[in-house]
């Protein structure tokens, strides 16, 4: 059962709509991939976790370690 | 009540029509030279970031092609070679081409800036501006030196590729730019000497028509002479080496001989052998560019095994 009547225009623009859908999906994949690569390239995650507002004992410098 | 039905618009543009706006053949040269610029740079780039950068450069080049087609639709409609392009043939509305050109430009520049660095994004933005505004809108219809100026837009991609990797501009990237920039005029004018164009009917001043074919032959030899030191000089930079230099010496001798032959000819000789020399030089000019950039790539590959370059 269809909720909307199919218009002839939908059929004619089908290829175009699929194409645009693929391009948008590709853009999402690109941004996601870039995010993964950029975050992995940061190396030590603690470098940026340090700016978290929540106190976390594991990143507080230990006495006598020279940090 | 009026019914606006699909039958009012007999043709619906397909993805292929929109893709044709991006001038895919020009894009392939842009991808090749930008990739070489990126790979020969001394700073390694993550493969995925490199892929995104090349994609952005290709899309940016395509976007400038769409803007060019939007602006030049009136010229394209009057020339046999271009009359079947999407806008003059009525497959794509001019406004759509403008929208696609501007949108893709924005996306390509922003994504390149986020993925790599601001200099690369700025260079891509400048390239699009240069091709669409300085060349297409301003100088193409104003001067027979339009080919020289248009060549600059095609010369930026390796410089952008280099900037993606290094974040800067170096003598190497400037010379790669200069190589394509000075190569473009003799390459195109060799073509103009044997292809009967209708640029004149379309109101575009071409050197063969404004200054004559003899003047064009002189321009071919002058620009080829200017090209030689640039091509050879690139061989002595950090991205050059013995392989590149050997290729450059051979290809420049070949191209220079061809340009000299063209210079020595006249219209009667051209007609007599159906432009044999001009056609040959045009083909040589294509090999010329691919050989130089291919040799740079070989040098970069050899450097990975510590056998490339001058060290």
Residue of A nearest to B47 (CA): A37
Is the complex ipTM higher than 0.90?
no
| pLDDT average, residue stretch A36-49 | 77
User: Do the domain assignments include residue A34?
Assistant: yes
A13 in contact with chain B, both atoms CB, cutoff 8 A: yes
What's the distance, Cα to Cα, between the start and end of chain B in Å? 80
What is the domain count for chain A?
1
**Where is pLDDT greater, at B267 or B67?**
B67
The pair phi, psi for residue B272, each rounded to 5°, is -65, -40
User: Do the domain assignments include residue A48?
Assistant: yes
User: Do the domain assignments include residue A11?
Assistant: no
| pLDDT average, residue stretch B186-202 | 84
CA distance B275 to B268: 10
Interface contacts (A, B; CB < 8 Å): 30
Q: Classify B15-166 by CATH class.
A: mainly alpha
User: Do the domain assignments include residue A58?
Assistant: yes
Kindly tell me if the per-residue pLDDT of A45 is higher than 90. Answer: no
- Residue to substitute from A33, A35, A36, interface B, most B β-carbons within 10 A: A33
A43 in contact with chain B, both atoms CB, cutoff 8 A: no
CA distance B244 to B235: 6
Select from B6, B55, B115 the Cβ nearest to the Cβ of A12. Answer: B6
Secondary structure class of B292 (helix, strand, coil): helix
User: Do the domain assignments include residue A47?
Assistant: yes
Cβ neighbours, 10 Å, residue B271: 9
What one-character-per-residue DSSP string does B86-122 give? TTTTTSS-HHHHHHHHHHHHHHHHHHHHHHS-HHHHH
A37 in contact with chain B, both atoms CB, cutoff 8 A: yes
Model confidence over A2-34: pLDDT tens digits?
Answer: 667 777 777 778 888 899 999 999 999 999 999
Model confidence over B221-254: pLDDT tens digits?
Answer: 999 999 999 999 999 999 999 999 999 999 999 9
The token pair at B210 is: 């404004």
Report the predicted TM-score, pTM, of the whole model to 2 decimal places: 0.88
Q: What is the pLDDT of residue A66?
A: 52
Where in chain B are the domains? 15-166, 170-311
- Residue to substitute from B6, B11, B13, interface A, most A β-carbons within 10 A: B6
- Binned at pLDDT 50, 70 and 90, residue A64 comes out as low
Closest-CA distance, B15 to chain A, in angstroms, reads: 5
User: Do the domain assignments include residue A24?
Assistant: no
Percent of chain A at pLDDT exceeding 70: 69
User: Do the domain assignments include residue A19?
Assistant: no
Q: What is the pLDDT of residue B22?
A: 95
CA distance B107 to B90: 26
Its domain, for residue A55, covers 29-62
Cβ neighbours, 10 Å, residue B183: 24
Q: What is the pLDDT of residue B196?
A: 76
Model confidence over B111-159: pLDDT tens digits?
Answer: 999 999 999 999 999 999 999 999 999 998 999 888 898 899 999 999 9
Angle between helices B146-166 and B171-194 (to 10 degrees): 150
CB half-sphere exposure, B258, CA atoms < 13 A: 28
């Amino acid at each position: 059962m269809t909720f909307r009547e199919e218009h002839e225009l939908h059929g004619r623009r089908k290829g175009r709509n699929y194409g645009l859908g693929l391009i948008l999906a590709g853009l999402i994949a690109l941004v996601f991939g870039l995010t993964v690569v950029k975050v992995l390239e940061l190396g030590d995650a603690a470098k940026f976790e340090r700016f978290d507002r929540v106190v976390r004992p594991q990143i507080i410098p230990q006495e006598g370690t020279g940090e | 009540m009026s019914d606006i039905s699909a039958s009012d618009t007999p043709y619906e543009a397909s993805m292929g029509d929109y893709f044709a706006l991006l001038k895919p053949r020009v894009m392939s040269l842009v991808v090749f030279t930008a990739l070489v610029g990126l790979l020969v740079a001394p700073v390694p780039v993550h493969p995925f970031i490199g892929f995104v950068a090349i994609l952005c450069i290709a899309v940016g080049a395509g976007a400038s092609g769409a803007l060019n087609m939007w602006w030049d639709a009136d010229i394209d409609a009057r020339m046999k070679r271009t009359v079947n392009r999407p806008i003059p043939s009525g497959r794509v509305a001019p406004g759509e081409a403008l929208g696609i050109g501007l949108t893709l430009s924005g996306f390509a520049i922003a994504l390149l800036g986020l993925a790599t660095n601001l200099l690369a994004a700025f260079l891509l933005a400048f390239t699009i501006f240069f091709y669409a505004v300085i060349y297409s809108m301003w100088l193409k219809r104003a001067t027979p030196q339009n080919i020289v100026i248009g060549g600059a837009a095609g010369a930026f991609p390796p410089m952008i590729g280099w900037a993606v990797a290094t974040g800067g501009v170096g003598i190497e990237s400037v010379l790669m730019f200069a190589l394509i920039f000075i190569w473009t005029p003799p390459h195109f004018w060799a073509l103009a000497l044997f292809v009967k164009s209708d640029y004149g009917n379309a109101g575009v001043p071409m050197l063969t028509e404004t200054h004559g074919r003899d003047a064009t032959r002189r321009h071919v030899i002058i620009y080829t002479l200017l090209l030689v030191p640039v091509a050879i000089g690139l061989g002595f930079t950090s991205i050059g080496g013995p392989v590149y230099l050997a290729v450059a010496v051979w290809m420049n001798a070949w191209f220079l001989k061809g340009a000299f032959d063209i210079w020595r000819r006249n219209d009667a000789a051209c007609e007599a052998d159906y432009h044999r020399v001009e056609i040959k030089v045009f083909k040589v000019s294509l090999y010329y560019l691919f050989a130089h950039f291919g040799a740079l790539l070989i040098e970069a590959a050899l450097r990975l095994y510590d056998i490339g370059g001058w060290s």
